[in-house]
Structure 1
Amino acid sequence: MNVNTKTMVSISEANQNFSKVARLVDQYGSAVILKNNSPRYLILEFNQADEQLSAQTDDVLAISEKLITRNKAVYEELAK
């Protein structure tokens, strides 16, 4: 995942000025909240949450198809 450094906000700043975080999400699509100088939380627009989840599902399906194709002979032997 690529993170735009313009969207990074410390947890204390987010706590004091959440409207700034909301504006960053409106402008860039997401914001990252840092805790102890490490990315800890990702804030997304609500309508993007489904897109993020479906992308992960698509990845899992692609990997599953690859494994099934690669191990087809083994699956056929197990099916006997």
Structure 2
Amino acid sequence: MMINSNTLVSITEANQNFSKVARLVDEQGSAVILKNNVPRYLIVEFSQAEQMQAVEDEDIMQVSARLIQQNRAAYEELAK
């Protein structure tokens, strides 16, 4: 994952000034909160999180369909 250095916020600063974190998310699309100088938390808009979940679900369905197609003969045999 590419991290924009402009969206990095220490956990102390996020705790003391959450409105700054919210502004960053509004302007940049996300904010990364550092704990002990290591990226630890990703803050995104709720609608963006829903979109990410939908993409993950779609990927799972595609993989599932591919596996079913590849193993159709085995599934048909097991269904007997």
Deviation digits for residues 31-67 of structure 1, max 9, x if unmatched? 1111122222111112222112111111111111121
Match of 1:21 in 2: 21
Under a length normalisation based on structure 1, what TM-score does the superposition of the two structures give? 0.84
Residue 76 of structure 1 aligns with an amino acid whose one-letter code is E
| Aligned counterparts of 1:4 and 1:58: Cα–Cα separation in 2 | 27
> RMSD of the TM alignment (CA)?
1.4
Taking the aligned partners of 2:3 and 2:52, their CA distance within structure 1 comes to 15
Gaps of 5+ in 2: none
Following the alignment from structure 1 to structure 2, what is the Cα–Cα distance between the partners of residues 63 and 14? 39
1:12 maps to which residue? 12
Amino acid at match of 1:77: E
Q: Which residue is 1:55 aligned to?
A: 55
- Other structure's SS at 1:33 match: strand
Give the length in aligned residue pairs: 80
Where has structure 1 moved over 6 Å in runs of 4 or more? none
* Structure 1 residues 69 and 5: alpha-carbon distance in aligned structure 2, compared to 1, 3 A threshold: farther
Distance in 2 of aligned mates of 1:49 and 1:61: 19
How many Å separate the matches in 2 of 1:75 and 1:3?
43
Name the % identity. Answer: 62
SS at match of 2:33: strand
